[in-house]
Amino acid sequence: MSITRRQFGRQITAMSALSMAARFSPRALAQSAESASPQPVGYAIIGLGRIADHFMRGIQASPGSKVTALVSGHRDKAERIAAQYNVPKSSIYSYEEMDAMRSNKAVEAVYVALPNSMHAEYTIRSAKAGKHVLCEKPMAVSVAESKSMIDACNQANVKLMIAYRCHFEPTNLKAVKLIHDGEIGKVQSIQSAFGFDIGATEWRLNKKLAGGGPMMDVGIYCLNATRYLTGEEPSDLRAYATSDASDPRFKEVEENLVWNTKFPSGVVASCNTTYGANMGGYYRVYGSRGWIEASPAFNYDGLRLRAEYLGRDGKWVSLDEPNLEKDPIQFTRQADHFSACIRRNLTPKTPGEEGLRDMELIARLYNSAGITML
């Protein structure tokens, strides 16, 4: 029995390795670390909120990328930021004027950093203006919108990348590699959670803008992680959602969502997201020879990888690796990668199809939990 189990484990590891190889191959990893050509790719930043600030600071360290235009509803704020990044006033656009960017040769790509329900419109308008699109997660608020974004970018012959920064981040990549190399044996089970106690004035609580609650916002990190850690696509998902009816924050979107996922190899995942408690963001992966934990796993910095497993030589291995990198390096890597893809005509590691897969799974999770999507 134990021999059969071991053989099965090797087979599964090999199968997982094959599917992971495509996304985490040395070439893909090298792409994420390299910088683009000497001619930087000019980016228009659409939406000047919190994540755009991280991205613009990150771009400053990316030799292949440059902020060259801003799109905002607040001219005074845009002028202040333009002065900081040496963007000419003539390259500040309102949302209404944005299509005029078509004739601005200094803009080759856009970064869409707007509320979720605006991603589709601004991606499609940017593609029609001939610009490559790096769009924040979640890709959109429905499967249909996600498909129309992919179609628009294909028709315009521009690249579309979804800003899944963890795919370029060393702690997450090391966790994937340890699993891929079979260090913890046959993966059996994953636990993951991400949530925070949300402020009452956030657009994230407005269903028309957010499309959903914590699942769309931070639960998506856990969902995506279970896919990149296993290298598999879920075969089944079941979810439950709850909300405190007396809390005015949760009139439109869910407060809590928990879900279980089954993968074709037999791996099971158990995940949890909330807007009602600060739970950080982490995952723990249990294999037949030990475990790996990234906690925090999804923050902008301060990530930490721990693992304990029975090594092939029969001795226990114990890892504890804090990641000392500082924000905004994850955003620099993301910009490096997309700019290199534009310059070298490569497909991004996290293309529109990666965002679409998560949207399809979120649609199934919401359906399972009895939540109607937009």
Task: Work out which of 48, 179, 359, 362 binds ligand NAD, going by CB under 6 A.
Answer: 48
- Residues between 262 and 281 with contacts to ligand NAD, criterion CB under 6 A: none
Amino acid at 270: S
How far apart, in whole angstroms, are the C-alpha atoms of residue 72 and residue 298?
Answer: 28
Directed axis angle between helix 143-155 and helix 352-369, to 10°?
A: 170
How far apart, in whole angstroms, are the C-alpha atoms of residue 205 and residue 254?
Answer: 9
How far apart, in whole angstroms, are the C-alpha atoms of residue 256 and residue 136?
Answer: 23
Binding residues for ligand NAD, rule CB under 6 A, total 18
Task: Give the nearest distance from C-beta 246 to ligand NAD in angstroms.
Answer: 26
Alpha-helix residue ranges (DSSP H) falling in the chain: 2-24, 26-33, 50-59, 75-84, 119-128, 143-155, 170-180, 207-210, 214, 220-230, 329-344, 352-369
Residue nearest to ligand NAD (CB): 49
Task: Work out which of 217, 254, 336, 358 binds ligand NAD, going by CB under 6 A.
Answer: 217
Cβ proximity to ligand NAD: between 48 and 257 the closer is: 48
How far apart, in whole angstroms, are the C-alpha atoms of residue 14 and residue 247?
Answer: 48
SS3 content of the chain, % helix, strand, coil (to 5): 45, 20, 35
Q: How far is CA 211 from CA 117, 160, 237, 294, 350, in A?
A: 6, 21, 20, 28, 21
Site string for ligand NAD, 145-184 (x = CB under 6 A): ------------------x-x-------------------
Tell me which of 93, 122, 164, 221 is the catalytic residue. 221
By CB under 6 A, tell whether 49 contacts ligand NAD: yes
Cβ proximity to ligand NAD: between 217 and 254 the closer is: 217
Tell me which of 66, 131, 137, 186 is the catalytic residue. 137
By CB under 6 A, tell whether 88 contacts ligand NAD: no
Task: Work out which of 9, 40, 42, 47 binds ligand NAD, going by CB under 6 A.
Answer: 47
Residue 251 annotated as catalytic: no
Are the C-beta atoms of residues 211 and 373 closer than 8 Å to each other? yes
Residue 128 annotated as catalytic: no
Query: What are the residues binding ligand NAD (CB under 6 A)?
Result: 47-52, 73, 113-116, 136-137, 163, 165, 203, 209, 217
Which residues are catalytic, by number?
A: 137, 221
